[in-house]
């Protein structure tokens, strides 16, 4: 019976290989003197490299806070015959041994998987974080999935340790283990599709309108027959499939016309094996939306605690339109993936940032950065302890003039913990409105209008809203431990803000307006 590995290797439509590169990320138990698998990648390649075995870490590295465990990264270039033997032993004996035994978990061999190339920016394929250079046509994988994960549960149960380890590995290899933590413990065989080159271009007609695409397919193998190929085109909108077409390929250059398209998928299929050889989503640009701003020399001028602040602003000229581990099935591990991204990436995007105290300026700068990144359509601030100074420290730093800025405070006239309405008005009136260039309205929970609230949010009313939970009031940002994180159900929070905003329509609830 032909194995899955032999089937992929012998299919000329997939790739041309003469060697394999093996990357082993392993742990080592010092007392037991045993090595165990953390993640192994086996890549079939066409290379001139001779057989190699090298340790990519200078020495075995220590896991933070764990004395008995260390880790390392080993790289090999080996003959395909060695990988065939390795595959057979994994399949038949659940054993991993090239020259020394490596302890592995309980494996389930998954069906072959096609992994689209990394160039497809419309859909981020998580598994690409664990593959080597999966560009151009993509790759097939055979994955031995560790459904037990007893060997690496110390990582899965400790997100700080996992992120620290993942970032150290990333300094050695372009892999991101924490992004796809459900794959820890696995062994993946990667088959890059390198038997042909494909390029595509748009076909234009009069008035620069697009009317289709042109595909050029060039074979890199004598056994690759272009006439065995078929193209499938379809559109997907809101998870619905429309406008499907199947087209046989007869020449290496094929033109495909269609009348209209905003997001078309293209798939290249081998009719004989039914294998998918290429998948990509491309969009034809019909209209260009951009926001025009007129840079000027004017600055927003205001005071915080009698210190004059000046913020460069851009005048908005409007929008324009041109043209703990238990054995469970692999699919549960994938659905229950604990960590979608490395902590360093999350902090860079401000999707998840921790502050540990004495970081007030950093926290405020992070909020201001978000305001100027996502605030072109407006910025709403929702905080029960919001003061005039808090608003100045945040919303006043918006660099777009006259964009809608709204703030709701849990203001109560007799609260000893909160600034009174009169005190807020006094603070706002210290500044000359003529030099604020603001469209700001501030309301407070006063009297019987509205309702009390507790959570603190920074809200951006975009077409697809974005919301950040502050984790603490603005006046305490960075002063003690809290977490700034992006919220998934942003539309619901925007709706809740708008509902309360509408309920605070009584005159006594209006604290201040800039115009």
pLDDT at 120: 53
- Full-prediction pTM beyond 0.75? no
Domain end point (choices 164, 192, 220)? 192
Model pLDDT, residue 30: 93
**Domain of residue 253, residue span:** 196-282
Examine the domain organization and report whether 276 and 203 are in the same domain.
yes
Please report how many Cα atoms fall inside a 13 Å half-sphere around the Cα of residue 2, on the Cβ side.
8
Q: What is the largest CA-CA distance in the chain?
A: 85
Q: Block means of pLDDT (10 residues each) for the chain, length 515 residues?
A: 84 87 97 96 94 94 93 97 96 94 96 85 79 92 96 91 92 93 97 89 61 82 86 80 86 73 77 89 54 61 86 65 64 78 79 90 95 94 94 94 94 60 92 92 89 92 93 94 91 93 93 92
256, 326: one domain: no
Give the number of domains in the chain.
Answer: 3
Domain boundary among 263, 282, 301: 282
**Phi/psi of residue 321, each to 5°?**
-125, 125
Same domain assignment for residues 343 and 253: no
192, 225, 240 - which closes a domain:
192
Examine the domain organization and report whether 258 and 351 are in the same domain: no
Could you tell me the CA-to-CA distances from 291 to 247, 297, 320, 374, 502 in Å, in that order?
40, 19, 7, 13, 29
Please tell me the distance from the alpha carbon of residue 445 to that of residue 326, in angstroms, as a whole number: 49
Task: Identify the CATH number of the domain in which residue 477 sits.
Answer: 3.30.870.10
CB under 8 Å, gap of 24 or more: what pairs does 482-485 form?
482/354, 482/355, 483/352, 483/353, 483/354, 483/355, 484/350, 484/352, 484/353, 484/354, 484/355, 484/363, 484/366, 484/367, 485/351, 485/352, 485/353
Same domain, 370 and 342: yes
* Residue 453 shares a structural domain with residue 410: yes
Query: In this structure, are 224 and 373 located in the same domain?
Result: no
CB 170 within 8 A of CB 117: no
Alpha helix segments (H runs only) across 40-158: 80-93, 153-156
The pLDDT, as a whole number, for residue 380 is 98
Within this chain, do residues 12 and 95 fall inside the same structural domain, yes or no?
A: yes
Our CA dihedral for 445, 446, 448, 454, rounded to 10 degrees, sits at: 30
113-131 burial, b at 16+ Cβ within 10 Å, e below that, comes to ebbbbbebeeeeebbbbbb
* 273 and 347 both lie in a single domain: no
Question: 340: which residues sit within 8 A by CB, 6+ positions away?
Answer: 126, 179
Q: Are residues 401 and 494 in the same domain?
A: yes
Same domain, 411 and 328: yes
* Residues 296 and 368 occupy one common structural domain: yes
- pLDDT for 245 equals 85
């Amino acid at each position: 019976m032909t194995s899955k590995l032999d089937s992929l290797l012998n299919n000329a439509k997939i790739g041309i290989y003469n060697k394999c590169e093996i990357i082993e990320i392993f742990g080592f138990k010092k007392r037991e003197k045993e090595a165990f698998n953390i993640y192994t990648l086996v890549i079939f390649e066409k290379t001139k490299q001779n057989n190699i075995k090298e340790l990519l870490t200078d020495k075995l590295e220590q896991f933070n806070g764990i004395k008995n465990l260390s880790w390392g990264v080993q790289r090999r270039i080996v003959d395909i015959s060695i990988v065939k033997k390795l595959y057979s032993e994994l399949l038949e004996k659940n054993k991993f041994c090239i020259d020394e035994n490596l302890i592995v978990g309980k494996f389930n061999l998954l069906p072959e998987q096609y992994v689209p190339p990394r160039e497809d920016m419309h859909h981020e394929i998580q598994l690409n974080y664990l593959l080597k250079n999966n560009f151009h046509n993509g790759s097939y994988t055979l994955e031995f999935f560790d459904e037990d994960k007893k060997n690496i549960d110390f990582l899965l149960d400790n997100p700080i340790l996992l992120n620290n380890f993942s970032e150290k590995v990333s300094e050695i290899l372009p892999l991101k283990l924490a992004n796809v933590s459900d794959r820890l413990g696995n062994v993946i065989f990667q088959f890059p599709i390198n038997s042909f080159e494909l390029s595509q271009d748009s076909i234009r007609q009069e008035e620069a309108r697009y009317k289709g695409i042109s595909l050029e397919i060039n074979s890199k193998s004598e056994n690759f027959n272009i006439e065995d190929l078929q193209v499938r085109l379809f559109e997907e909108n809101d998870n619905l499939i429309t406008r499907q077409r199947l087209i046989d390929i007869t020449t290496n250059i094929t033109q495909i016309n269609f009348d209209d398209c905003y997001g078309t998928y293209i798939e290249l299929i081998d009719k004989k094996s039914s294998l998918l050889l290429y998948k990509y989503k491309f969009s034809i640009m019909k209209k260009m939306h951009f926001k025009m701003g007129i840079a000027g020399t004017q600055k927003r001028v205001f005071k915080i605690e009698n210190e004059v602040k000046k913020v460069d602003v851009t005048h908005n000229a409007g929008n324009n339109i041109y043209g703990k581990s238990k054995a469970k099935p692999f699919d549960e591990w994938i659905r229950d993936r604990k960590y979608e991204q490395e902590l360093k990436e999350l902090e860079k995007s401000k999707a998840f940032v921790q502050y540990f105290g004495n970081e007030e300026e950093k926290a405020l700068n992070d909020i201001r950065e978000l305001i100027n990144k996502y605030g072109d359509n407006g910025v709403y601030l929702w905080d029960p302890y919001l003061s005039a100074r808090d608003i100045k420290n945040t919303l006043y730093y918006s660099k777009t003039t006259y964009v809608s800025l709204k703030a709701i405070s849990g203001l109560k006239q007799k609260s000893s913990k909160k600034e009174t309405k009169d005190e807020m008005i006094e603070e706002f009136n210290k500044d000359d409105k003529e030099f604020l260039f603001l469209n700001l309205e501030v309301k407070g929970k006063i009297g019987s209008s509205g309702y009390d609230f507790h959570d603190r949010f920074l809200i951006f009313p975009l077409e697809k809203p974005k919301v950040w939970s502050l984790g603490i009031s603005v006046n305490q940002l960075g002063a003690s431990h809290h977490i700034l994180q992006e919220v998934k159900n942003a539309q619901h929070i925007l709706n809740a803000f708008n509902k309360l905003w509408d309920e605070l329509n009584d005159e006594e609830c209006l604290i201040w307006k800039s115009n």
